Amino acid sequence: MGGFLVMPTVGSCIPTLTLPTGGPIQISKPVGQGPLARNIPDDVKTIQEALNQVTLKGEAGGPLPFLVVDGIKGPKTQAAIITFQQVQVKSISADGTVEPGKQTILRLNELVAPISKFDLNAKLATSLPLVRAALDAAIRNVTAIITSGPGPTGPAAVAEDRLNRHFTLSTLDASGQSSGRVNLFETYSEMLLVINQPDLFNMFGAIDAFDVDPGNAKIALTTAQGVFEPALQNGADNPARHIRLGLGFFAPNVTDDFAAFILIHELSHFTGRRDGELIIDNGRGWFDDIFIRPLGANKRLLNADSYATFAHECRTGSPAKPSFVKTAPGGLGGAR
């Protein structure tokens, strides 16, 4: 099948400037020495606390005596960063700088705030019900207009309005609109089957579709149409069969609503369309954002964020853009 799709920090697959990455321990700008360092006090406090925790957990490379958590990057904090890098981050030179999403903060997360399958299950326990509700609402909306056709009032009229906002179906001819609705119905239905009837895909449960990717500082990683990949690869679990959630997914700012949005975005990649078309990242953001507005209907029908935004509006009943949805270009250039 296709290659990996990495979700940017905006709410779908790589990192942007608006969402911090790096897991529970996260900073907005580099801390330490050198031209990249900004040493914002809150970021410095985060690193000071994390380095102290290294010592408290009995791991090598932490400061002793403990650092004063004052948000000031003084010589003791600088020395502690370099010592930690020398002992724990041997894959890089000890440059004395901690950058968001890079090896030093990844290693701090591994030691101080490791993410486990238990953490994943806890996160999914509160976000998957919202995913189910959103996908079910999306299917009901599409079904309303398929079964009764467009109308001036009622559920079909509401559905048509939403479909035109998120997928601009009204710009297609009658045949294109009809086939677009059918494709949407099939795709959302397949996504819901992964959650509600995972046994159809030889999965033991809905949670089996997801896995932790502790080496990824971003939000998520998955394979196009990965749900149809073989369960085993060379006798071992096939990572392509999972939506792999990185440290960014567990960051404090990823609320249940945001997590559900991320999962729907990734599920659209994971299943693809029944006609074999891949759902990719043509643009990221809400239906009227700068990188979504230029997309025609055919590109939106193959755009992961469009699937997530439509389902979100169907669930909440509001066309208002959620604060966690940011806009970015398509492809890896806009990855979250």
The domain spans of the chain are: 25-112, 117-334
Question: What pLDDT is recorded for position 11?
Answer: 37
The whole-angstrom separation of Cα 332 and Cα 16 is 10
Does 65 sit behind a cis peptide bond, omega within 30 degrees of 0 on the bond before it? yes
Contact 180, 308 (CB under 8 A): no
The whole-angstrom separation of Cα 30 and Cα 102 is 10
Tokens at 139, concatenated: 């299917």
The whole-angstrom separation of Cα 119 and Cα 90 is 28
Backbone phi and psi for residue 210, each to the nearest 5 degrees, phi listed first: -120, 150
Tokens at 92, concatenated: 């890089």
Question: What pLDDT is recorded for position 69?
Answer: 93
CA 294 from centre of chain: 23
Greatest distance between any 2 Cα atoms in the chain: 73
* pLDDT tens, position by position, 18-51: 333 446 788 999 999 999 999 999 999 999 999 9
Q: Provide the phi-psi class of 63: left if phi over 0, else alpha when psi is between -120 and 50, else beta.
A: beta
What are the start-end ranges of the H helices in the chain?
41-56, 75-88, 103-112, 117-148, 155-167, 174-196, 256-271, 297-300, 304-316
Q: Which long-range contacts (CB under 8 A, 24 or more apart) does 159-167 make?
A: 162/310, 162/313, 162/314, 162/319, 163/310, 165/287, 165/288, 165/310, 165/313, 165/319, 166/287, 166/300, 166/306, 166/309, 166/310, 166/313, 167/297, 167/300, 167/301, 167/306, 167/310
Hunting for tokens 């945001």 — which residue is that? 258
Fold category of 117-334 in CATH: Collagenase (Catalytic Domain) (3.40.390)
The whole-angstrom separation of Cα 191 and Cα 83 is 47
If one counts every other C-beta atom within 10 angstroms of the C-beta of residue 297, the result is 19
**How does the average pLDDT of the chain come out, rounded?**
89
Spell out the residues 6+ positions from residue 118 whose beta carbon is closer than 8 angstroms to its own: none
- CB-facing half-sphere around the CA of 331: CA atoms within 13 A: 1
Question: What pLDDT is recorded for position 90?
Answer: 83
DSSP label at residue 232:
E
Hunting for tokens 């369960």 — which residue is that? 231
The whole-angstrom separation of Cα 21 and Cα 3 is 23
The whole-angstrom separation of Cα 317 and Cα 215 is 37
Question: What pLDDT is recorded for position 5?
Answer: 52
Question: What pLDDT is recorded for position 252?
Answer: 78
- Coil, strand or helix at 220: strand
CA angle 115, 214, 269 (to 5 degrees): 110
Tokens at 310, concatenated: 């439509």
Contact 76, 63 (CB under 8 A): yes
Question: b vs e for 254-275, b when ≥16 Cβ sit within 10 Å of the residue's Cβ?
Answer: beebbbbbbbbbbbbbbbbbee
Question: What pLDDT is recorded for position 23?
Answer: 62
Q: Which residues of the chain register pLDDT less than 70? A: 1-23, 215, 217, 332-336
**pTM, whole model, 2 decimals?**
0.78
